[in-house]
Homo-oligomer: A and B are copies of this chain.
Amino acid sequence: MKVYLGIDIGGTNVKIAVVSPRGMVRARGVLDTNPSDGPRRTFRRIHDVAGSLLGARDDVRGVGVGCAGLIDCDRGWLSSSPYRPVWENTSLRGIARRAFGVYTAVDNDANCAAYGEFRCGSSRGVRDLVFITLGTGVGGGVVCEGRLLRGAGNYAGELGHMGIKENGPRCHCGSRGCLEAYVGTSGLLRTARRWMRVKKSPMLAKWLAEGQRLTPRLIFEAARRKDPAARAAVSEAGEHLGVGIASLVNIFNPEAVVIGGGIAASLDLLQPRIEETIRQRAFPEAVRMVRILGSKLGNDATAVGAAMLAKDALCEGP
């Protein structure tokens, strides 16, 4: 049976999925890796894990690799990698092709996830979509008329580094007031701490006193239990997200904005404020056409999207 391998190279682990031509995940594995291991060594291990996931009759037609960092996807070249500096300036495509002996597509992890959601996610059938992934950082990918937006050097889609407030807080990228500076993990924690000084916080304050660490998960959990400070922080995050998404709605006029990443599970808490803010800020004609959706593929998005990129590049049918 025809299958595609999708490989999601994260900071500390690698996710490997065996994906059907229709984008169903037939098997998945996770490999804990040492970021300082070189790419050849890591790909030999990926190859072994993939071998154990494949069935006897599986015929691997292509491999897709999604990796954080700046990637020239025409050449499959990783030029800069935040989590694996020793991988910089290598041909991921060359290494993967040697390991697997089949066609390999390589792209940025957020682009792969956007493509996965486009091809197999909750926005299936939509041809214009914006994908935002919320985690430590805020990443993004854009599909226009069914094609990934890549830009001149495949650096397009850095939606987390759209400035939403000229003189806002410093962002890791060196700029100020980026969307990521507000709704990336450290921005969220800063917002919650500020609200804890102003509002009552029976849950969060108690949990922190008990020695728990403040995390986005904890904030959303407290908001779900109606902790006033946590609710204010989540509402504020929803507004910042809404401001950013409103700009994206005016820029791209998409049919769907898909939110992925760790926070996606709590999208129900953010969504009302996001939607209210978009209605206040974006063009009504464009607002009417767009839906805000949670990621359907979740943790599989990058691997499934990478596999689909390989499949579509090969122009293979179902």
| Cβ B155 vs Cβ A281 within 8 A | no
Contact A252 B151 (CB under 8 A): yes
A253 contact from B150, B254, B289, Cβ within 8 A: B150
A283 with B158: CB separation less than 8 A: yes
Interface residues of A in 158-205 (CB under 8 A from B): 158-159, 161-168, 173-177
- Asked if A269 is at the interface of the complex by the 8 Å CB criterion, the answer is no
In the complex the two chains form, is A161's CB within 8 Å of B70's CB?
no
Taking a contact as CB atoms under 8 Å apart, the answer to whether B152 and A251 are in contact is: no
A149 to chain B: which residues have CB within 8 Å? 144, 252
Q: Is A80 positioned at the interface, with any CB of B under 8 Å from its CB?
A: yes
Main SS class of interface, A: loop
Asked if B255 and A156 make an inter-chain contact with CB atoms under 8 angstroms apart, the answer reads no
Contacting pair B150 A145 (CB below 8 A): yes
Residues of B contacting A144 with CB < 8 Å?
A: 144, 149, 151
Measured CA separation A254–B147 after assembly (Å): 16
Contacting residues, chain B, for A154 (C-beta < 8 A): 253
A243 contacts across to B, CB distance below 8 A:
163, 166
The reply to whether B80 and A152 contact each other, CB–CB distance below 8 Å, is: no
Q: Is A117 an interface residue (CB 8 A)?
A: no
CB distance from A177 to the nearest CB of B (A): 8
On whether A165 and B162 interact (CB within 8 A), knowing A154-B253, A254-B152, the answer reads: no
- Bound-complex Cα distance A80 to B286 (A): 13
Report the separation of the CA atoms of residues A147 and B149 in the bound assembly, to the nearest whole angstrom. Answer: 11
* CA of A112 to CA of B74, assembled, Å: 29
| Size bin of chain A's contact surface | 35 or more
Cβ-defined contact, B163 with A166, below 8 A: no
Q: Which chain B residues lie closer than 8 Å to A240 at the CB level?
A: 166
Say if the beta carbon of A250 comes within 8 Å of chain B.
yes
Chain B residues near A252: list those with CB within 8 A: 149, 151, 156
- Let me know if A156 and B253 touch, CB within 8 A: yes
Are A286 and B175 within 8 A (Cβ)? no
- Nearest chain B CB to A230 CB, angstrom units: 21
Please name all residues of chain B whose beta carbon is closer than 8 Å to the beta carbon of A177 when the two chains form the complex: 165
Contact status A283-B155, CB under 8 Å = yes
CB of A269, distance to nearest CB on chain B (Å) = 20
Known contacts being A165-B165, A281-B176, A283-B173, is A253 close to B145, with CB within 8 Å?
no
A36 at the interface (CB under 8 A from B): no
> What residues of chain B lie closer than 8 Å to A251, measured between beta carbons?
142, 156-159, 162, 251
Complex Cα gap A147–B145 (Å): 10
* Assembled-state Cα–Cα distance A8/B235 (Å): 45
A sample of 23 cross-chain residue pairs with beta-carbon separation below 8 angstroms, ordered by A number, consists of: A70-B285, A128-B156, A144-B144, A145-B147, A149-B252, A152-B255, A152-B289, A154-B253, A157-B251, A158-B251, A158-B253, A158-B283, A159-B250, A159-B251, A161-B247, A162-B162, A163-B164, A164-B164, A165-B165, A165-B177, A166-B243, A174-B281, A247-B247
**Known A127-B152, A145-B147, A165-B177; further 8 A-B contacts with Cβ < 8 A:** A79-B285, A80-B285, A151-B254, A152-B290, A158-B286, A162-B251, A164-B166, A174-B280
